Structures are given as structure tokens and as C-alpha cells.
Structure 1
Amino acid sequence: MNEKAVGAMREFLEALGLDLKQLDMEKTPERVAEMYGYLFSGLTRDAGEVWGELFQSENDGIVAVKDIPFYSMCEHHLVPFFGRISIAYKPKNGMVAGFGKFTKLVDIVSHRPQLQERMTEQLAEAVMQGLQAEGVLVIAEAQQLCMTMRGDLANGTSTITSSCLGCFGEDSGLYNQAWSLLGWNKGE
């Protein structure tokens, strides 16, 4: 248990005027510190280590993994944003990764204080570097609780970000094919 985090959480709650003993919340600082330790566990993990062994494939087309669920914490307000990540990549020389590696990558990168835009870019860069891919497209769709829980009250609003690297940024045909493969009809 991170005692410094527990003490800081206790002080924070008390500074807001909460009487932890009277409200039967004496254990809340420990629970919150443990939870945030997990939510920020990506800070101590290297996304580059996720790939392990790559496999030779005869595939020269685009490979896609759609709708990987994620949740992260907005670095501005420390409240969740969550949704799904879809990744398409064009293997170089047929080298592919196991599909489960992509869920592990999303888990590592999303378990950090984040901005959706940065998270999307970090995922694309990690796939590009880790697989030495010819191109990568990452699309993130999320609900931002900072938009729905405070002044804006924008219930049902989703935010969509994308990052496009390599051949998908150079070849509009491949770019459109990747978007279509991920279920996004660009331009509609």
C-alpha cells in the first residue's frame, strides 16, 4: 500500500469538509489509493514490451482489430473516459502479432492519466514501432465523463480521435480501405 497516497487522499477528503469517521469512510483513503494505483499502472509499464514474438504470415493486406474496450482517466479532471479502440495496420513483409497483444497494448497505454488525442497517437506509434508496420490507423471513440458530470452535461456525446501513420497517410486508397475495414464510412 502506498502510504503517501493514502495520507494525501485522507487530507484531500478532509480538506473538502468530510468527516471520515462520522461518515463511516475511514477506509476510503486506502481503497481510493489502491484503485488509482491500478488505474495508473501503465505509468510503470513499457508499451514496447507487449509484442514478444512476431509471426510470419502470407497476408499482404490490412489486418484489423476492432472495438477493443478501454477506460482511462482524463488528466485534466481525473475522471474516467471510456470507449473502444480500433486498430488497422499493414504488415511489413508479412510480420504480424497475435491479436491479444493489441488488447494488452491498449490496457497499458490507457492506464495512465491521458488525453484521448495523445492516447490515440501513442497507440499508433507503438504499433508502428513494435511491428515495423508499413502503416497504422487507430480510431478511438469515447465518452468523457468530465463532459457529462459537470457544467456541460453533454449526456450521450461521444468524442472520436484518429491517428494515421505510414502508408495510410500516403495512399488515399489504403487510407479509405482501413477506415472502411474498421467499420467507419469516412465522409458519411
Structure 2
Amino acid sequence: MSPFFKKAIGANNISAEKATEAVRTLLLYIGENPNREGLVDTPDRFCRALLEMTEGYSTNPEEILSTTFESESDEMVLVKNIEFNSLCEHHLLSFAGKAHIAYIPTDGKIVGLSKLARIVDVFSQRLQVQERLTQQVANAINKYLRPQGVAVVFEGVHSCMCVRGVRKQNSTMITSAMHGQFRDSLASRNEFMSLISK
């Protein structure tokens, strides 16, 4: 028996057995045979992969951003090209790309750079739309770090745009969220946009 079946009852009291049976039903729905060699373990694998891709639901962003360090810096801190993968809540298809995050510390309060990447993971590893994902990352940093300003830009390529519907392979979605000085100061916003475009 797969280790997946040994997990406790999941969210909403749905057992692993019920989840995998639902996937078997979907395989039947498209005309496949879930008992053939290549598919016999697919329901189990799919459910385990789905749990892994949605781990963000079980992580509290406050725990990630609660540990800060003192610094004399009052200039922009920028981490760009943070890779992310998420699932579109409309079709359960993936979208992926890069996130760019900047903040201006208040009273020299900074956070480890890996924490910014982890905040991206927390919110991207949920069923999402990119617009909300961008806002959630910016809002969390703004809430828990209380910086002078936060700027977040996400660039994503969406499978639901590429492999179905209009099937446009080279389209990229760009979303942004600005707080504080990045919203109020054109100079700060332009500096951020200039740095992430290099």
C-alpha cells in the first residue's frame, strides 16, 4: 500500500481512498482504462503531487516573516527572478514564471533573503489567479515587516492560455502590487522597474 494511504484524513474529512477514486473516475470520464499498466498507479501519484503542489495552505506567512535582523540600511532591498509554480484555480493547470520583490526597511528592520522566496512559495502553492497571488505576497510583506514601501511584480506563463482555448504559446502575464513609498514616489517605482528589467 502506498504511503499516501497511510496519511490521516485530509481537509474536509476526505480520505486518500476517496481522492484516488475520484481520479479513477476522471480517467474513465475521458475514455481511459485506469486499470491498464501505465495508469494503475496514476490516481495515487496525482493525489500525492496535488498535495505537494498545494503545500502553501498549511504554512503561516507570519512564521516566515517573524524573524528579522537589525541593519543600518534604509535603501531598497531587491530580490529578483524568484522562480514560482502555481495552479490556476479555473482549470487546475499550471502557471509559472518569476517574481521580483523589493522593500525599503523601516528602522533598519530586514529579513533574510530566503524568506522572500519562501513567501512566494507559500502563496503560489495554492489554487490561484496571478492577480491575487501578487497582492497576497505584497500584503504579507507589508503587514509583517511594516517597511516604508513594498513592490512586487510577477511574470507568468499560463498553461490554460497555452495548451487549451486560444493556445497562444508566447504570451506572458505581468502583474504588480505597490505599497507605501513605491506607490507614492515615482522615483522609487521607476528605480525598481529599471532594476528588474536589467
Counterpart residue type for residue 81 of structure 1: F
Per-residue CA deviation, residues 35-71 of structure 1 (Å, 9 max, x unaligned), is 0011111112112211242011111111100000000
Q: How far apart are 1:151 and its partner, in Å? A: 2.5
Per-residue CA deviation, residues 122-161 of structure 1 (Å, 9 max, x unaligned), is 0000111121111101000010111110121111111100
Which sections of structure 1, spanning at least 5 residues, go unmatched?
none
CA distance in 1, matches of 2:196, 2:141: 16
Counterpart residue type for residue 122 of structure 1: Q
- Counterpart selection for 2:181 from 163, 167, 170: 167
Greater relative contact order (CA < 8 Å, ≥ 6 in sequence) = 1
CA distance in 1, matches of 2:54, 2:169: 26
Q: Does 1:114 align with 2:166?
A: no
Match of 1:64 in 2: 78
CA distance in 1, matches of 2:64, 2:130: 21
- Counterpart selection for 1:125 from 139, 149, 165: 139
SS in structure 2 at match of 1:29: helix
- Counterpart selection for 1:93 from 59, 84, 107: 107
Q: How far apart are 1:23 and its partner, in Å? A: 5.3
Counterpart residue type for residue 197 of structure 2: G
1:1-188 aligned within 5 A: 1=4, 2-22=16-36, 24-183=38-197
State the identity as a percent. 35
Q: How far apart are 1:18 and its partner, in Å? A: 1.2
Counterpart residue type for residue 40 of structure 2: E
SS in structure 1 at match of 2:28: helix
Q: Which runs of 4+ in 1 moved over 2 A?
A: 1-4, 181-184
Match of 2:11 in 1: none
SS in structure 2 at match of 1:67: strand
Which sections of structure 2, spanning at least 5 residues, go unmatched?
5-15
CA distance in 2, matches of 1:71, 1:5: 23
SS in structure 1 at match of 2:151: strand
Q: How far apart are 1:107 and its partner, in Å? A: 1.0
Per-residue CA deviation, residues 66-102 of structure 1 (Å, 9 max, x unaligned), is 0000000011010100000000111111100000101
Counterpart residue type for residue 47 of structure 1: P
CA distance in 2, matches of 1:21, 1:168: 56
8 Å Cα contact 1:87-1:182 kept in structure 2: no
CA distance in 2, matches of 1:152, 1:99: 38
Match of 2:8 in 1: none
CA distance in 2, matches of 1:165, 1:3: 45
TM-score (norm 1): 0.93
State how many pairs are aligned: 184
C-alpha RMSD over aligned residues: 1.3
Per-residue CA deviation, residues 97-117 of structure 1 (Å, 9 max, x unaligned), is 000101111111100000000
8 Å Cα contact 2:66-2:144 kept in structure 1: no
